[in-house]
Chains A and B, each alone.
Chain A
Amino acid sequence: MTVAPMPHSSPEASHYRTSARRRTSIVLRRLALYTGLTAGGLAMMIPFLWMVQTSLKTRSEVFASAPFSFPTGLHWENYTNMWNALPGVTFGTFFQNSLFIATMATIGQLITCSMAAYAFAVLKFRGKSILFALILATLIIPFQVVLVPNFILYRYLPWPYSDSGNWIGTNLPLWVWAFFGGAFGTFLIRQFFLTIPSDLADAARVDGANPWQIFVRIYVPLATPVLATLAIFQFMWSWNDLLDPLIYLRDLPSYTTTVGLAFFQGQYIGNWPAMMAGALVSLLPMIILFLLAQRYFVRGITISGLKG
């Protein structure tokens, strides 16, 4: 095994003298490091492993057997049972609802936050800093504080296709807000816009481009990485949200994955294999997204501390 460059955090190893004994001890330490880190990682993943193995067992097996015994057979029927467990709907319906809401919220945030970010980063107008401070200040408001007034607002907004005649019971309150800006996304994109050299915009302006054209043709294309970061996080927040869908959605066919799962759990108390199958299926899209785009998740958190 070759000795890889030492981590800068352990500089005492950086000025060692290479001798056979020393090299052996380094290899052993490296081995211990890998073993320890992998063991820790597996420990961290215990809930996932536990979920997967339970989801493939029968109910009687779950109660009878030792914790990490292998299932007698792979009982995939838990998944089909879970998928079709609720009357009149499948989990597919919940997926569609979540997908729609998360996509719309993401589109809304991308458009309106990048517009506001452009105004704050590039345009000159009086009262800019006060307005920006005001928008940042809304970040320190727990959203639960505005839960009641927002509910009342949506109750007054008419909607001919719902039972209530207003927005309650529809998915509109879960994504329309996203088309009205947001402090966090605005802040994130503004930070990025500030790093774009103004020469580009100046040149375009000389050529007669107006601010909208400069925004669409220069700033938005350059901001792809930060837009991807915002998109991923907004999608995840919408997908994982429980409180808002719980308040606004009234009937089973309109439920999102989270509300559907919580409802399912209430109906099937004690049926752990089916419940673990449901939990796994609901987590799977985000886990796949994470494995594909881990870089963006890590970058997003590092830049700005966004969180689930």
Chain B
Amino acid sequence: MSIFSLARTGSVLRRARGGASASALERTGRHRGPRDGEWRWALLFLAPTLIGLAVLSAGPIIATLGLSLTSWDMLEPPTFVGIDNYTNLLGDARFLTALRNTFFYTAVSVPLGLILALGLAMAVNQRIRGISWIRTMYFLPLVTSSTAIAIVWLWMYSPTGLFNNLGSVFGMSPQRWIANPTLALPSIIVMSTWQGLPANVIIFLAGLQGIPSEYYDAVSVDGAGRFARFRYVTLPLLTPSIFFTGILALIGAFQVFDQIYVMANPGKPGGATITLVYFIYETGFRNFHMGLASAASWILFLIVAVFTIIYFRTQNRWVHYQ
């Protein structure tokens, strides 16, 4: 199931609420009658999905909750320990570091990514010859694996790498970007923001192109300047795209793993950059504390669920649908 990164939730929920469900209702109305009992066929078409739902996604969530109440090293049978795993986690310095890092990563990378992407989308929203070639340059990070990209940036951040080289031109003293606990996470955030930009830019670009030009004409007649047009037309009409990108970025940020694995690996036992998912991986699949890993998984689940719900609750206050 890993592939369905939670990142896709926003659109799904929004669309399920909006146009899609409406047209589904229309169709239901139109076809009522002779085809009412197609459940045998439905069962045939849905069989793989239903098995997957029970065995690979819905079932395992319950199983994780159960496992989180046990102590299990995969050698001896699991023993029931109640909520010990949860209380232990809250006293575990490494877990708390992971939690803090995850929150910091999310709090910085989400707004940063959105603001930069918005600016970039407006910059490349031009109808000029060759624009698609220019956009390709900006979109290229889209298809890259975080593993390979993290290795490239590790080299850029290395003591003799690009950043120190450029820094020395401006008289900056060389930094140990990744090895320095204070700079490590911000450095990783910069990299992830770069890699995450294209997807956000593409969504914003679609949003910008969906704004009818009459709106701009209307405010221009009123003598609105560049800033006013951005503030009173672009920004409000783009809020659905911002909302959507925001949820994707939020959920993606809580799940960050690949770059942490690559960049935290080389000789960093202190774990200044570990995140929640890295903690789950390490606890469950390196140290085989399956109960503890399950408890950490459920905490991650609850955090994501709570933030998603809060985020959706704020929707009415600032998102304007046309």
Q: Which residues of A contact B (CB under 8 A)?
A: 4-9, 11-12, 30, 33-34, 36-38, 40-42, 44-48, 50-51, 54, 62-63, 66-67, 105, 109, 111-113, 115-116, 118-119, 121, 123-126, 128-129, 131, 133-136, 138-153, 155, 177-184, 186-187, 190-191, 194, 198, 210-212, 215, 234, 236-244, 246-247, 257-258, 261-262, 265-266, 269, 272, 275-276, 278-280, 282-283, 286-287, 289-291, 294, 297-298, 301-308
Contacts of A36 in B (CB 8 A): 123
Q: What are 25 A-B contacts with C-beta separation under 8 Å?
A: A11-B220, A33-B128, A50-B152, A51-B155, A115-B45, A119-B42, A119-B46, A131-B46, A138-B53, A141-B301, A144-B297, A145-B300, A146-B57, A147-B284, A147-B297, A148-B63, A182-B3, A246-B261, A275-B151, A276-B152, A282-B147, A283-B143, A287-B140, A305-B248, A307-B248
Q: Which residues of B contact A105 (CB under 8 A)?
A: 3
**Contact residue among B6, B48, B255 (Cβ-Cβ distance under 8 Å from A139):** B6
Check if A140 sits within 8 Å of B9, measured CB to CB: yes
- From B58, B285, B304, give the contact of A140 (CB < 8 A): B304
User: Which residues on B sit within 8 Å (CB–CB) of A143?
Assistant: 1-6, 255
Flag if B280 contacts A144 (CB, 8 Å).
yes
Residues of A contacting B257 with CB < 8 Å?
A: 144, 242-243
Contact A139 B9 (CB under 8 A): yes
Could you say which residues of chain B place their CB within 8 Å of the CB of A306? Answer: 7-8
CB distance from A36 to the nearest CB of B (A): 8
**Apart from A119-B45, A124-B36, A149-B60, 6 more pairs, CB < 8 Å:** A105-B3, A116-B46, A149-B59, A149-B63, A153-B56, A265-B154
Answer whether residue B293 sits at the interface, using C-beta atoms and an 8 A cutoff.
yes
A153: nearest chain-B partner, CB-CB = B55
Bound CA–CA A308/B194 (angstroms): 13
CA distance A153 to B52 in the complex (A): 12
Q: Contacting chain A: which of B131-139, B176-184, B314-322?
A: B131-139
Count chain B residues whose beta carbon lies closer than 8 angstroms to a beta carbon of A.
Answer: 131
Contact of B12 among A33, A124, A139, A142 (CB under 8 A): A139
Docked-complex contact B142 and A142, CB < 8 angstroms: no
Q: Give B46-68 as 1s and 0s: 1 = Cβ < 8 Å from A's Cβ atoms.
A: 10111111011111110110010
Whether, in the assembled complex, B92 has its beta carbon less than 8 Å from a beta carbon of chain A, the answer is no
Of A115, A134, A140, A190, most buried by chain B (CB within 10 Å of CB) is: A140
**Bound complex: CA of A47 vs CA of B124, how far in Å?**
20
Judging by beta carbons under 8 Å apart, are A242 and B64 in contact?
no
CB within 8 Å of A: which B144-184 residues: 144-149, 151-156, 158, 160, 162, 165-166
Given contacts A40-B138, A47-B149, A116-B46, contact A148 B55 (CB under 8 A): no
Q: Are B136 and A294 in contact (CB under 8 A)?
A: yes
Closest 10 CB pairs of A and B: A180-B52, A181-B49, A41-B137, A149-B60, A240-B145, A146-B60, A67-B165, A8-B213, A149-B63, A119-B45
B242-298 residues with Cβ-Cβ distance < 8 A to A are 244-245, 248, 251-252, 254-255, 257-258, 261-262, 265-266, 277, 280-281, 284-285, 290, 293-294, 297-298
Q: Closest Cβ of chain A: how far from B316's Cβ, in Å?
A: 19
Is B310 an interface position by the 8 A CB rule? no
Q: Which residue of the partner chain A has the closest CB to B26?
A: A194
Q: Contact check: which of A9, A177, A258 meets B122 at CB < 8 Å? A: A9
Complexed CA–CA distance, A155 and B72 (Å): 14
Which one of B53, B120, B140, B251 contacts A181 once the chains associate, using CB atoms below 8 Å? B53
Q: Are B126 and A308 closer than 8 Å at their CB atoms? A: no
